Each structure stands twice: as structure tokens, then as C-alpha cells.
Structure 1
Amino acid sequence: MKLSSPYNGALTREQFLFYEMRTMAKLVAAGLTDEEATEAIIKDNLFQYPTEKSIKNLAGVCLKRLHSMNDDCLMEAIAKLPADAAKQICLYAMMKKNRLVWDFMITVIGEKYRILDTSFGKVDLNTFFMRLTEQDDNVASWSDATVQKIKQVLVRILVENEYLDSTRADHLNPVLIGSLLEERIRANDDNAALIAFNCLS
């Protein structure tokens, strides 16, 4: 059963990684292969991490997220657009690569925008994980510490993308999807993702 689970606990170490995603996107957009980009990042320690192993792991995470969008236009946008717009695309890439982030952003955050409920708090996170635990044996086997860490990462993702003003905020801000991201999501027939960005039409 565990093998077939779409969920994994990788978020405990993979986080949002905006700076790293932007760095990788710039190298790939400049024409480097995945291997060349990874080598360049390791050689010059562009991620500013202490060990080569951790740099290599995170470079792999960034590449998987970038490729999960399957959209060169969005990859280039992460490299070139202003930070707030690029972050939004990074969030979409993270959703595409990580089923847990996808489900959270659509079934919790998107649903709140849909029903015009701006409240947000621990109860929303707890309900989300309770539901996952009931439907997935793998999630049910996670330790409390793992679940707690993932909840913290999810909240930080919301703060980084200005859905929340701080980790202690108790209401969601109205967010506005960038025009390029909306256009590309529709072009790629991925409309289910739009609700996560408060795009309801």
C-alpha cells in the first residue's frame, strides 16, 4: 500500500526554495543542460550550502520542479520576472511536483477563496491532515514530528507567497494570479490549479 501512495514526506527538507529555483532557472534558460547547470551550482556553491551532497540534492529537486511544469516559457519567467510573479510560478511548479502541496493548495486554500472564507488557522491544517490520514496508509504512518514539520513548511509557503502576512496570521489575503501564469496554466489544460491562485472564473 505504501508504495502506491502519491504522498511523501519530502517537504520536511525540500521547502519552497525560491532563490535556488531562480538560480537553476537562469542557468537552464541560458542553455545549460541539467548536468551542466548542476555542475556550475556545485563548483561555485551558488546555493550557499555547506556540503556538496546537499547542493546536489537540492539542485535535483529544483530541476524536477522546473521540468514538472513542462513549459519553457514559465521556466524562463522564473529566471526573469520580478520576484512576486516568479514566486507564484515557483509555487505552481511545487504543486506540480508535490501531490501534498497540490492537494493542500486546491482543497484548502482554493476552496476558501471559492466560498469567500478568509479565515485560516491550525484547524484547517489539522483537518487537511486528518483527511489525508484517513485515506492514505502512508500518511497515517508518518510521525507527529513529520506532520508538524510539513505543516510549518506549508504555512511558510503561504507567507512567502503573501497569502498570509506572517506565520501567526489568522486570515488569508486576496491574491491575484499573474497574467502569464494564468495564460500558461490554461494553455497547458491544467485549469484545476487556478483555484489555488484565487482565479475562480
Structure 2
Amino acid sequence: MYVELKQVAKLTLAGLSSVEISAKIIDENLFQYATNKSLDKLLSATLKRVAVLDEILLNLLVQGSLHTSKLVALIAIMKTNRLFLEFIEEVYLEKVRLGEQELEPKDFCIFFNNKAEQSLKVAGWQESTLKKLSQVYSIILFEAGLINSTRKKRLKRRSG
């Protein structure tokens, strides 16, 4: 949803309200979807993410380098998705602190098992849901440049 998020951010910076943005995206098919089937859900998520960013972050999302822009998108996801934020704090950043090189399938399993112990909602999720979330989290980390691929999830190090 990076491209869509960036489009909504541009429209927000141009001064359009969320209602005006929604209408423009739907009327002009700015997301270029074949059908409007999942458009409402996607639009709602992107508007929610843009709403948590201040003007500085919105400008970095729209005009920053690709790496910076994708990190701002990551921040927006973290600010709107508590479970993903907890994954970053409890798994990814812990791996970085410990100097570990890779995210492994067991890391996702341990994380979701811990969350299932803390939440009846998570405990009720099917294995397929947890697998899909693990895949989505991997894609988000890859797109943000924090891991090298979605298969062998080696943590990328930034120098400087």
C-alpha cells in the first residue's frame, strides 16, 4: 500500500479533506483498481495512516528519498497497528540489540504464541491467519529495507 499511501499524503498536503480525498480517488480511479471491491477498506487504512503523520513526516513521505519515504510508511503502520508495533519492539529491535543476523520462522511463532497468551482475540486466530500475518510482516520489513528478503530474513545493517 506504499504507492497508495504516498498518493493520499500528496492530496493531504494539497489541503484536501479526507472526504475530498476519498471522492477524488474513487471518481478518478487514482489507485487504478479494476473494481471498487476492496477500495473502501484500503482507502480507510491509508487515510488512517496519513492522519497519524505530522506535516514534516508527510513531506518526507512524499518528497524524501525512497528509503526515507518507506521508513515513514513503516512509522505510519507502527502508529496505527499495535500488534505490528509490538512485533517491532519485542522481536525485530531485540534481534538488533542482541546483534543477531536473521529473523526466523520460530521468532514469529514465539511472538504470536506470547500474544495468544495475552489476548483471547489472538488466541482465537487460526494458524492460516498467523501464517498470513507473518508473511505480511516480512513484506513490510523487506519493503522498508530492514531485511534483505522475505525468504531468508537477514537483518540489514546501516552504516553511519
Instruction: Report the TM-score when normalising by structure 2.
Output: 0.93
**Structure 1 residue 104 and structure 2 residue 87: aligned?**
yes
Equivalence for 2:119? 136
Q: Give the residue type in structure 1 aligned to 2:29.
A: N
**Structure 1 residue 65 and structure 2 residue 65: aligned?**
no
Instruction: Show structure 1 runs of 5+ residues with no match.
Output: 1-16, 178-201
Quote the Cα distance in structure 2 between the aligned partners of 1:26 and 1:170.
32
- Give the count of matched residue pairs: 160
Contact 1:29 1:79 in 2 (8 A): no
Identity of aligned residues (%): 35
Query: 1:29 aligned to 7, 10, 13, which one?
Result: 13
**Structure 1 residue 124 and structure 2 residue 107: aligned?**
yes
Cα-Cα RMSD: 1.6
Q: Shift in Å at residue 44 of structure 1?
A: 1.4
Contact 2:102 2:152 in 1 (8 A): no
**Structure 1 residue 153 and structure 2 residue 141: aligned?**
no
Q: Shift in Å at residue 119 of structure 1?
A: 2.3
Quote the Cα distance in structure 1 between the aligned partners of 2:159 and 2:76.
17
Query: 2:96 aligned to 105, 109, 113, which one?
Result: 113
Comparing both chains, which one has the higher relative contact order based on Cα–Cα distances under 8 Å and sequence gaps of 6 or more?
Answer: 1
Instruction: Show structure 2 runs of 5+ residues with no match.
Output: none
Instruction: Say if 1:85 and 1:56 are closer, same or farther in 2 by CA, change over 3 A.
Output: same
Report the secondary structure of 2:103's partner residue: coil
